[in-house]
Amino acid sequence: MQTSFKAAVIQASSIPSDSVAAATKAAALVREAAAAGASLLVFPEAFLGGYPKGASFGTPVGMRKPEGREDYRAYHEAAISLDGEEVALLEEATRETGVFLVIGVIERDGGTVYCTALFFDGDRGLIAKHRKLMPTGAERLIWGFGDGSTMPVIDTPLGRIGAVICWENYMPMMRMAMYDQGITLYCAPTADDRHGWAATMQHVALEGRCFVLSACQHITRGAYPADYDCALGDDPDLVLMRGGSMIVDPLGTVLAGPDYSGETILYAQIEPAAVVRGKYDFDVVGHYARPDVFNLSVNTARQRAVTRTGDASGQE
């Protein structure tokens, strides 16, 4: 493991209606951050495919409007396939720079889309994904639910890297599943730009005694198509997400951010030994655990509506 390295969180606006253009922008930002010395990069939730802030998809309770179905069709079209051009662009950028990249995407799988975090290794390209387990509020209208088969913590020369998306960070058992896998670099792509989010990220760092890297978009209404159905308004200068990206160390000290000023890249020096120093007095899955009282059970099986054998149990 390296003694010290630079990490970056990318606070930038997506191009919601054009995933290839968004991937091209992301690749340029990867190269920029790598040129500044960063080895680990974290992008926001739904950077490819777009976060539909303010959209309702035409769904009052008990009905679906035709225009909402068309909104979903367009959103589905803007999502990415994991064998598509967008992934190839990011693989090229990470291979060229040697960085480790975590980025939020909207992943198209059949007729369903998922809010997903992708993991890219400079040498191996796309190596893993995490599908958001629990879409929040109206997100459930448009995103499928992930399962326990995509909750990786990846061992790398930089540390053990995993991702928890947005309000999954408020799921105690989800956090515990990450801690139980020995996570040291806890990535939190998000769309939450509220002031309270910073406190959550500090809590996670203190609880897990890990580095936390949170990235949120800074994006205006003008980044979306003119006919985008936005309940917040249509002024192109209206800020729909204001950022708040940040990096926190294992004792809760904020190393960078939160920043609400606009598009930017935030950097911090990461010292892996700080994780062990933090666990001296609190190790949530070690000497501070009480396995005689509490037990964590995680179902890591992939869930399917119908298996290849026709069994509708959902188990594979």
Q: Where in the sequence numbering do the catalytic residues fall?
A: 45, 132, 166
**66 Cβ contact partners less than 8 Å away, ≥ 6 residues apart:** 58
Which distant-in-sequence residues (6+ apart) come within 8 Å of 138 by Cβ? 56, 57, 59
Pairing outcome for strands 100-109 and 159-163: unpaired
Nearest to 270 by CA among 10, 45, 37: 37
Q: How many CA atoms lie less than 13 Å away from 37 in the CB half-sphere?
A: 8
User: Is 144 within 8 Å of 109 (Cβ atoms)?
Assistant: yes
- Nearest of 65, 214, 46, 62 to residue 143 by alpha carbon: 46
CA triplet 12, 17, 20: central angle to 5 degrees?
A: 75
Q: How big is the CA angle at 64 (ends 60 and 65), to the nearest 5 degrees?
A: 95
**Number of continuous H segments (helices) and E segments (strands) in the chain:** 6, 14
